[in-house]
A and B are shown apart, each in its own frame.
Chain A
Amino acid sequence: DARVTQTPRHKVTEMGQEVTMRCQPILGHNTVFWYRQTMMQGLELLAYFRNRAPLDDSGMPKDRFSAEMPDATLATLKIQPSEPRDSAVYFCASGLEGGLSYFGAGTRLSVL
């Protein structure tokens, strides 16, 4: 049963620390998305990749967030330094161009 895998599922850290979230997209999918979910803003697109190349990261605060795809089986979202306002659930989704997006279970981040 193919699925998007995100690690860790939960992360509690202190303000100023670096946070790295990982996503393993479904094998064969060429598009990967990072979304953030908060009570206030709902679901927001942070960045997305096609064929490992970043296509749009306009939703992402550039000074502290970075997203990469070191290879086709791994996408990472990094926050450095983290701040309390970054507390949210971060979802990764993968799909094929023009097709459906399949979501991971999310990483729940709490920055104290």
Chain B
Amino acid sequence: AQSVTQPDIHITVSEGASLELRCNYSYGATPYLFWYVQSPGQGLQLLLKYFSGDTLVQGIKGFEAEFKRSQSSFNLRKPSVHWSDAAEYFCAVYREGGKLIFGQGTELSVKP
């Protein structure tokens, strides 16, 4: 069965530091992968997606993610974190019909 694992429940980084959020997936075929961000009290906003092609994908707000088939990973990165990036981040894999299977989420805190 398809699944998504985000090993880190909570991460704290200093403003200006680099960030990497981990995501591992379990899926038989080539997966379609997504990262969403959720600010407190808000819905989910799509940061970026991977369908095929270049394994390094660029998203909004300066985020990028790299698909690594050999590691079944799709980690999210940002070179320099801003205080406004504090939020919860969800990795998801697409299933047939458009359904998304989400990871448990990683809460990001940013220290001044």
What range describes how many residues of A lie at the interface?
A: 20 to 34
| Closest chain B CB from A84 CB (angstroms) | 21
B17 — which chain A residues lie within 8 A by C-beta? Answer: none
B89 — which chain A residues lie within 8 A by C-beta? Answer: none
Asked if residues A103 and B98 are in contact (CB atoms below 8 Å), the reply is: no
What range describes how many residues of B lie at the interface?
A: 10 to 19
Chain A interface, DSSP helix/strand/loop, else mixed:
strand
Instruction: Write the residues of chain A forming the contact surface with B, with a CB cutoff of 8 angstroms.
Output: 4, 31, 33, 42-43, 45, 48, 50, 55-56, 91, 93, 95, 97-106, 108
Query: How many angstroms between the C-alpha atoms of A28 and B57 in the bound complex?
Result: 27
Asked if residues B98 and A95 are in contact (CB atoms below 8 Å), the reply is: yes
A43 — which chain B residues lie within 8 A by C-beta? Answer: 90, 100, 102, 105
Asked if residues B100 and A101 are in contact (CB atoms below 8 Å), the reply is: yes
Asked if residues B44 and A103 are in contact (CB atoms below 8 Å), the reply is: yes
Query: How many angstroms between the C-alpha atoms of A102 and B43 in the bound complex?
Result: 9
Asked if residues A33 and B98 are in contact (CB atoms below 8 Å), the reply is: yes
| Closest chain B CB from A109 CB (angstroms) | 14
Q: What are 6 A-B pairs with beta-carbon distances under 8 A?
A: A43-B90, A48-B98, A55-B97, A98-B98, A103-B44, A103-B45
